Amino acid sequence: MWVPPTLGARRPPRVGRTTGIGDRSDATSAFMSWGRRAATQSRGCGSGSTGRRATLTQVSRIFNVSFASVYPHYVTKVEKKGRTKDELDHVIEWLTGFDEAALSGHLAAGTTFEGFFADANLNSHAPLITGVVCGVRVEDIDDPLMQQIRYLDKLVDELAKGKAMEKILRT
């Protein structure tokens, strides 16, 4: 049971690195900061924004998500930034080799990301896509399917940021 200190009592000195969470002990501070990090992992970029590796459960969940359920979010993101759906489709075609008919077929069929990239003929220049997505360097991802998904995310981010199409397509 916690007992409040008396007015004249001195607080014990902190040991090690502090997290700046007020008058809590180091153990409590460390626990509280861990709790905030864990809470932020469930939001944002799927595998967590703290740079930690995703667990097997999280990864398999991402692989089984329908590409058709994520595609409208890609469209919304690029259109909010002044780009068009046609430009998004062109970027997807460059990465996967899917023309408009093949892309429409995958969207209508509700293909998962796993099936979508299994059918794709990845562009030979895709390994030139580098940078950070959700706190993880794209070129350092070990799993090939996760790397392909992050390639697509990176291209969509670059399109939304207004980067020139020649630079996005690595030509």
Domain layout of the chain by residue ranges: 60-168
Which residues does the chain have with pLDDT short of 70?
A: 1-60
Residue with tokens 């703290």: 50
Cα–Cα nearest to 159, from 101, 103, 76: 76
pLDDT at 19: 47
Q: Please, what is the end-to-end C-alpha distance for the chain in angstroms?
A: 66
What residues have CB less than 8 Å from 21, skipping those under 6 apart?
28, 29, 32, 33
C-alpha 76: how far from chain center: 17
pLDDT at 96: 96
Answer whether CATH 3.40.50.300 is correct for domain 60-168: no
pLDDT at 111: 94
pLDDT at 80: 96
Would you put residue 135 in left (φ > 0), alpha (ψ -120 to 50) or beta? left
pLDDT at 8: 55
